Chain A
């Protein structure tokens, strides 16, 4: 099979794989128990290796590579034992910083992108609110214009890296307009007075990732912290979401492969009815079929990467890929638990954690139903179709 990866990509893969195996995986249990991974020290290590800015411009300390390098990073993060750590890292590289890199002013990039790439500052993306998740256009956090400043009031919910972030890429209302209009994407340092972490959420999975509710009480930041033009935030965030969805899909794919590999290995060892369970055709047919679907999804995801690299809009395909990832991960996780029997239900085996962790993928980054709405629009159906 042909591959989009060059020997350079392969070398990066070897480094990231090694990094995940020695710097992340051995800490899985401890970080899951602690409810967070040490974002600062881990990002520092990755920053020194240049892993946080693979495709960002060299002028800002990035690697100047193409998005296939990010693809390699995300694929290897998807193979980590704890998807919580992977999500926290992926938020930093692919969800909270792309808009800053693309639309931020040179000064904003100097102050936030450069240290983010070095791993000196931890970032978070703050879009969702208690009353606005799928319906992003309904968000209520306000950034009132006061001279040269924004004064921010409101609250954000579900914010990954929320208790550790040094700055947020925040979507807030900057005018009295309703719906998608009048929103701006603003860089907010968490050291600004008036910002606080209301609480860390206790979750079903992704336990090594800190997810928090954040509060803003007259948080004053300069208007110069706006990414792109004031009022253009929704559009820029929608663009940033495409990359977020693609990133989640890429991690989902390798995570599923790992889960299927673990299950195949388990069934090969586990003996029942006079032989290894893997001899049972129902079991290996089921796994073979899932491997096939994962591969099909990978090819769709790679097509999205190709478009992204070429600068072609991939909203339709990325939404399709994210939808399929959300659905397929559920089937893969459920099948893997089932085929592990009781061992799939105990925390001693990695499959139980996978089952809890991967459930997020059909909800976070836009729920399956939101993807369906986007796809429907592209296929000329639903209220949003023209």
Chain B
């Protein structure tokens, strides 16, 4: 089985305290980490490979050149190969643009039986890229996977348990499929020192947009957004005095008067 695991480098949100403009947290100069959810994805991929004698696990990331560090961590944990999509033109790309670039890279890599990602990235928290990627590749999406029930590489089927707000759902799909995983799936391993040594020397393939045959214009964000403070509202507080019985009486008539009840 060929597995691709999607890895995003994010700021360590626990360490963000400064803000840019009183609104947005600043990640400048702060340590960057592997998106914690993606560590579960890497672990899932590695365990699948170990169990099913898979061919290889490739860690794929889109980001600035520094994102190579996140890929090195993936390699140190045990991924076989690492590929970074990096291009200045991608700096302002949105989730759909990201998914388009990832889809092109996955196709270029010859596809995969499984693509595993974390449930979301802790910076944007959109949880949109895997779904968009599934749509672009025309493959099934199994999101919020908490357990793998059966994976049959020969028959090209997979059955998983999804952790949903209201309960659990067992679903099957045909491979290739895209998975997003939650914490319960497996405890991520620590990179070993041998892994770190190997990762430090391992080559990381870097792909620019032209390598993917993509134009920056095709990835441009469709929507832009701005952050602002909510409008302040004038609130008048009125305190009702009296005995509890009088207070209740007055409160109820006020609520009726205001057509609340």
Contacts and interface: CB of A to CB of B under 8 A. Distances in A.
Contacts of A50: 192-195
A8 B200 CA distance: 6
A184 to B, nearest CB: 32
A64 B190 contact: no
B202 to A, nearest CB: 12
B190 A65 contact: no
B42 interface: no
Interface string B66-92: 000100110010000000000000000
A11 B199 contact: yes
B193 A63 contact: yes
B73 A11 contact: yes
Given A15-B190, A49-B190, A65 B197 contact: yes
Nearest to B200: A8
B197 A64 contact: yes
Nearest to B201: A8
B208 interface: no
Taking each of B69, B190, B193, B200, which has the highest tally of chain A beta carbons within 10 Å of its own beta carbon? B193
A38 to B, nearest CB: 18
A54 B197 CA distance: 10
A8 B190 contact: no
Contacts of B196: 8, 11-12, 15
Nearest to B31: A14
Interface in A57-101: 63-65, 69
Nearest to B194: A50
Nearest to A48: B192
Interface centre among B76, B191, B197, B200 (most CB of A within 10 A): B197
B193 A7 contact: no
Contacts of B195: 50
A12 B193 contact: yes
Contacts of B199: 11
A54 B192 CA distance: 11
- Name A's interface SS: helix
Interface in B158-182: none
A49 B193 CA distance: 6
Contacts of B194: 50, 63
Given A7-B69, A7-B72, A15 B191 contact: yes
A35 B193 CA distance: 30
A51 to B, nearest CB: 6
Interface string A2-40: 000011100110110011000000000000000000000
Interface in B52-73: 69, 72-73
In this complex, the interface size class of chain A, counting residues with CB under 8 Å from chain B, is 10 to 19
Contact of B197 (A48, A49, A63): A63
A187 B39 CA distance: 42
Contacts of A48: 192
A13 to B, nearest CB: 10
A206 B28 CA distance: 40
A15 B196 CA distance: 10
B192 A8 contact: no
Interface in B186-216: 190-197, 199-200
Contacts of B190: 15, 18-19, 49
A54 B193 contact: yes
A8 B197 contact: yes
Nearest to A51: B193
Interface in B11-52: none
Nearest to B196: A11
Nearest to B199: A11
A69 B193 contact: yes
Contacts of B193: 12, 15, 49-51, 54, 63, 65, 69
Nearest to A49: B192
Nearest to A73: B193
Contacts of B69: 7
Nearest to B77: A15
A15 B194 CA distance: 12
Counting from the closest, the 4 A-B pairs by CB-CB distance are A50-B193, A8-B200, A63-B193, A49-B192
14 contacts: A7-B72, A8-B200, A11-B76, A11-B191, A15-B191, A15-B193, A18-B190, A19-B190, A49-B191, A49-B192, A49-B193, A50-B192, A50-B194, A50-B195
Interface of A: 6-8, 11-12, 14-15, 18-19, 48-51, 54, 63-65, 69
Given A19-B190, A63-B194, 5 more contacts: A15-B191, A49-B193, A50-B194, A65-B197, A69-B193
